Chain A
Amino acid sequence: EAQVTQNPRYLITVTGKKLTVTCSQNMNHEYMSWYRQDPGLGLRQIYYSMNVEVTDKGDVPEGYKVSRKEKRNFPLILESPSPNQTSLYFCASSFQRGYNEQFFGPGTRLTVL
């Protein structure tokens, strides 16, 4: 089954404790992206990757890191999480080019105390 998977689905952590949220897709997509969703602010892009070893900032990259060492994986790293990073996070993937649809993962709900 074609899908985007994220782990963990729920995470409660404390300020400053490094964490990684994994994202994996099995559709051989070049493009992958991370979004955060907060009440009243909609869906905002954090980082995206056009292909292996090619990443770029979205609208809200501060406090986050990403890497794209393999085509199927695009982990989101929070080196020193803070409470303002409490949010619902979505990973998405697609083929490149503007006519391709994005497939979204189920989301990761992160709480930073």
Chain B
Amino acid sequence: DAKTTQPNSMESNEEEPVHLPCNHSTISGTDYIHWYRQLPSQGPEYVIHGLTSNVNNRMASLAIAEDRKSSTLILHRATLRDAAVYYCILRGGISNFGNEKLTFGTGTRLTIIP
């Protein structure tokens, strides 16, 4: 199974941009890169996903390296409500018969400093 590697923790000042890295050197050509976050005392929630091109949505941006072996989740202006654990995972392919086992790991705990 393709795995991801993230730093255990990061800190950022409020109202500044945050760049959360993720390494996935064994990614396959059809794996999508997904990011989820888990706020305190809640279940994980979807943030963003991408395949090859950079992606933007109302929550964040996702920058994907050209070789797809790493990606960065960008929070453009962090607020205290962005303090959470962020998970980067790979979700296989386009086949209904592909391996759908998903590995979340321990994620990155983001602390926002007021």
Listed in ascending order, the chain A residues whose CB lies under 8 Å from chain B are 31, 33, 35, 40-45, 48, 50, 56-59, 90, 92, 96-107
Q: Of B36, B51, B96, B106, which is within 8 A of A99 by CB?
A: B51
- Give the residues in chain A near B87, CB-CB below 8 Å: 42-43
- Give the residues in chain B near A105, CB-CB below 8 Å: 43
Interface of B is mostly: loop
Q: Which of B15-23, B26-34, B73-81 contacts A (4 or more CB under 8 A)?
A: B26-34
Does A101 lie within 8 Å of B104, measured CB to CB? no
**CB < 8 Å A-B pair total:** 72
B48's closest neighbor in chain A, by CB? A101
Does B43 lie within 8 Å of A106, measured CB to CB? yes
B100 within 8 A of A: yes
- Give the residues in chain B near A35, CB-CB below 8 Å: 104
- Give the residues in chain B near A50, CB-CB below 8 Å: 96, 100
Q: Of A40, A45, A99, A103, which is within 8 A of B102 by CB?
A: A45
4 further A-B pairs in the complex, CB-CB below 8 A; given A50-B96, A90-B43, A106-B43: A42-B104, A43-B105, A58-B102, A98-B30
Q: A43-B44, A43-B87, A104-B43 in contact; A96/B103 too (CB < 8 A)?
A: no
- Give the residue among A41, A96, A100, A102 with the most B Cβ atoms within 10 A: A102
Does A45 lie within 8 Å of B101, measured CB to CB? yes
Q: Interface size for chain B: under 10, 10 to 19, 20 to 34, or 35 or more residues?
A: 20 to 34
Does A98 lie within 8 Å of B106, measured CB to CB? no
Distance of A90 from chain B, by nearest CB (Å): 5
Does A42 lie within 8 Å of B107, measured CB to CB? yes
B68 within 8 A of A: no
4 residue pairs, one from A and one from B, having the closest CB atoms: A42-B106, A104-B43, A43-B104, A101-B46
- Give the residues in chain A near B31, CB-CB below 8 Å: 98
Does A45 lie within 8 Å of B32, measured CB to CB? no
Distance of A61 from chain B, by nearest CB (Å): 10
Does B32 lie within 8 Å of A48, measured CB to CB? no
